[in-house]
């Protein structure tokens, strides 16, 4: 018999509490003699796990007095803290708000503010938070003598480029279409609902509500299997007028796939995208995020790197007719770094496959690339939330085929008003960034002028400060 699933502490607590309840029921006389004789099997049936899993969990509680959760481990073996795109957007706006209030957004101040004002913000240390900020593109750069946390210029520039392009196209009468992918698990259900607080004395020997979950003194809800279950993958495109008719792609993912990104591969997405181009009207702009299968390169623009095999690099060099140096007899004499150094001057400019496909289309269609970790600018994220909430309300069987039908039904019945409101919300976020970027520029400029004109500094200190600024301007200084 296998080991069984690894359970989180809350799931283990459910098992222990239910087992304890049935043990007490046995002592007090229980519903039927057959039920009373085997509390282990009743517990397993109540929580949906095997007998061995229940037995192992209860033994852990007896032996150690504690219940542990399995850790999601990275390369270091430590549990990972996941910052999704929504949370990154909250962090980015919080940094901007600090500047608008004329405050320096240090790591400790930011972390304290987020833990206080953002529900469910991870309980992490300043060091861990600093690492996440760096991954988001933030660096601790020095303005004269005052170091403050700054968003990378590249991130800000790409956001500003997107905002300028989408604003210009709207003014010129183009229709903005938004696309994205999501998934819905077979066990997807409501997370909140009305529950009754009960105590053991209130439960009669014959309990007609025995099939209603009861955990930690609260009774209510529908018993659901653990985990997400098999997944339905959803891909669609729409505008403020609603979903594009015929643009839906909704299918059941492969069993056992841990990530829906593995289901939507480059080939599937390219086929879907070519089909969408046949449905779009002229003067359409498609907003797409930078997922790996969106930013696939054309074969002609792929340049070799250290991840390539040596023979593949040599093949690339020969296809581009690069001349062999006079002091060498064949390319196999070169090491991989030497081959790349030789090929580098001949690298081809990057070209995205989707942009090439759009260029071959006989319509006026453009692609607008969302800046990384700015999904709040894509209103289809709100549409996904609307659909998944509707599925959760009506999912009663927890069977993947039924969930697929529910998803397809809800996709076809999203009101146009929901789309319109979602697009208006995204436009408000666009305006927020548009205003805050300019206000931040002004605030930071005032900081620089204020610190740079410090009359109390001696000429030697000023000279030293200028030299430090010059040295730090050539590269980001990390703290």
Q: Is the pLDDT of residue 358 over 70?
A: yes
Sign of the dihedral through C-alpha 117, 419, 243, 179? negative
Together in a domain, 402 and 272: yes
Q: Which pLDDT does position 470 carry in this prediction?
A: 36
Q: Is the pLDDT of residue 42 over 80?
A: no
Contact criterion met (CB below 8 Å) for 186 and 403 = yes
Asked if residue 78 is part of any domain, the answer here is no
Q: Which pLDDT does position 35 carry in this prediction?
A: 65
Domain that residue 339 falls in: 303-346
Q: Which pLDDT does position 466 carry in this prediction?
A: 38
Which of 6-15, 299-308, 403-412 is predicted least confidently? 6-15
Together in a domain, 115 and 183: no
Q: Which pLDDT does position 143 carry in this prediction?
A: 55
Asked if residue 216 is part of any domain, the answer here is no
What's the angle, vertex CA 78, arms to CA 74 and CA 84, rounded to 5? 60
Contact criterion met (CB below 8 Å) for 365 and 284 = yes
Mean pLDDT of 190-202: 73
Together in a domain, 250 and 235: yes
Together in a domain, 113 and 229: no
Rounded to whole angstroms, the Cα distance separating 287 from 364 reads 15
pLDDT digits (tens, 9 = 90+) for 223-279: 788 777 789 999 999 999 999 999 999 999 876 544 555 566 788 889 999 999 999
Q: Which pLDDT does position 438 carry in this prediction?
A: 76
Mean pLDDT of 108-124: 87
Task: Tell me the pLDDT band of 207, cut-offs 50, 70 and 90.
Answer: low
Together in a domain, 228 and 248: yes
Q: Record the pTM.
A: 0.62
Residue with tokens 């359970």: 7
Asked if residue 13 is part of any domain, the answer here is yes
Q: What share of the chain has pLDDT > 90, as a percent?
A: 37
Q: Which residues contact 209 (CB under 8 A, 6 or more apart)?
A: 219
Which of 24-28, 73-77, 391-395 is predicted least confidently? 73-77
Together in a domain, 45 and 98: no
Highest mean pLDDT among 151-160, 235-244, 443-452 belongs to 235-244
Task: Tell me the pLDDT band of 454, cut-offs 50, 70 and 90.
Answer: very low
458 or 333: which carries more pLDDT confidence? 333
Together in a domain, 417 and 274: yes
Task: Tell me the pLDDT band of 389, cut-offs 50, 70 and 90.
Answer: very high
232 or 76: which carries more pLDDT confidence? 232
Q: Which pLDDT does position 322 carry in this prediction?
A: 92
Q: Is the pLDDT of residue 314 over 50?
A: yes
Q: Which pLDDT does position 441 carry in this prediction?
A: 67
Q: Is the pLDDT of residue 16 over 90?
A: no
133 or 443: which carries more pLDDT confidence? 133
Q: Which pLDDT does position 121 carry in this prediction?
A: 85
Which of 1-5, 33-37, 44-48, 157-161 is predicted least confidently? 1-5
Together in a domain, 308 and 290: no
Q: Decide which of 289, 315, 346 is a domain's last residue.
A: 346
Q: Decide which of 124, 151, 178 is a domain's last residue.
A: 151
Q: Is the pLDDT of residue 293 over 90?
A: no
Asked if residue 219 is part of any domain, the answer here is no
Asked if residue 432 is part of any domain, the answer here is no
Asked if residue 158 is part of any domain, the answer here is no
Count of domains in the chain?
4
Inter-CA distances, 323 with 302, 317, 339, Å: 20, 9, 12
Q: Which pLDDT does position 142 carry in this prediction?
A: 58
Q: Which pLDDT does position 473 carry in this prediction?
A: 35
CATH number at residue 381: 3.30.420.10
Q: Which pLDDT does position 457 carry in this prediction?
A: 40
Rounded to whole angstroms, the Cα distance separating 288 from 353 reads 13
Q: Is the pLDDT of residue 281 over 60?
A: yes
For 111-135, b where at least 16 C-beta lie within 10 A, e where not — what string?
bebbeeeeeebeebeeeebbebbee
Q: Is the pLDDT of residue 449 over 70?
A: no
Asked if residue 118 is part of any domain, the answer here is yes
Task: Tell me the pLDDT band of 4, cut-offs 50, 70 and 90.
Answer: low
Asked if residue 69 is part of any domain, the answer here is no
Together in a domain, 272 and 331: no
Task: Tell me the pLDDT band of 444, cut-offs 50, 70 and 90.
Answer: low
Together in a domain, 179 and 133: no
Together in a domain, 240 and 325: no
Together in a domain, 172 and 237: yes
């Amino acid at each position: 018999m296998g080991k069984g699933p690894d359970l989180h502490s809350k799931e283990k607590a459910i098992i222990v509490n239910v087992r304890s309840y049935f043990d007490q029921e046995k002592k007090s006389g229980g519903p039927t003699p057959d039920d009373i004789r085997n509390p282990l099997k009743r517990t397993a049936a109540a929580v949906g796990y095997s007998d061995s899993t229940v037995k192992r969990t209860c033994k852990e509680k007896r032996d150690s007095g504690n219940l542990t959760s399995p850790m999601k481990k990275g390369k270091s073996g430590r549990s990972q803290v996941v910052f999704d795109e929504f949370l990154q957007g909250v962090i980015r706006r919080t940094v901007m708000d600090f500047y608008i209030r004329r405050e320096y957004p240090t790591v400790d101040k930011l972390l304290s503010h987020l833990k206080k004002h953002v529900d469910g913000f991870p309980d992490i240390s300043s060091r861990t938070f600093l690492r996440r900020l760096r991954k988001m593109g933030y660096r601790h750069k020095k303005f004269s003598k005052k170091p403050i946390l700054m968003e990378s210029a590249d991130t800000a520039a790409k956001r500003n480029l997107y905002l300028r392009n989408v604003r210009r196209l709207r003014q010129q009468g183009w229709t903005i279409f938004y696309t994205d992918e999501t998934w819905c698990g077979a066990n997807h259900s409501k997370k909140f609902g009305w529950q009754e607080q009960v105590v053991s004395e209130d439960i009669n020997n014959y309990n007609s509500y025995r099939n209603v979950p009861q955990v930690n003194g609260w009774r209510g809800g529908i018993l659901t299997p653990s985990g997400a279950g098999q997944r339905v993958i959803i891909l669609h495109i729409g505008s403020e007028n609603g979903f594009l008719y015929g643009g839906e792609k909704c299918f059941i993912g492969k069993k056992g796939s841990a990530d829906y990104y593995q289901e939507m591969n480059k080939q599937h997405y390219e086929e879907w995208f070519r089909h969408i181009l046949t449905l779009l009207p002229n003067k359409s702009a498609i907003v797409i995020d930078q997922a790996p299968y969106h930013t696939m390169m054309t074969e002609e623009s792929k340049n070799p790197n250290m991840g390539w095999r040596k023979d593949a690099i040599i093949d690339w060099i020969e296809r581009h007719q690069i001349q062999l140096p006079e002091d060498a007899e064949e390319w196999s004499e070169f090491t991989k770094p030497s081959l790349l150094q030789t090929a580098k001057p001949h690298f081809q400019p990057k070209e995205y496959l989707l942009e090439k496909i759009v260029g071959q289309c006989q319509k006026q269609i453009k692609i607008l690339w969302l800046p990384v970790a700015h999904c709040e600018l894509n209103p289809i994220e709100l549409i996904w939330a609307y659909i998944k909430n509707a599925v959760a309300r009506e999912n009663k069987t927890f069977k993947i085929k039924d969930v697929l039908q529910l998803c397809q039904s809800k996709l076809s019945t999203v009101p146009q008003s929901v789309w319109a409101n979602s697009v208006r919300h995204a436009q408000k976020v666009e305006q927020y960034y548009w205003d805050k970027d300019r206000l931040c520029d002004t605030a930071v400029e005032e900081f620089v002028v204020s610190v740079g004109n410090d009359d109390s500094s001696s000429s030697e200190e000023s000279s030293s400060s200028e030299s430090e600024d010059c040295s730090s301007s050539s590269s980001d200084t990390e703290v």
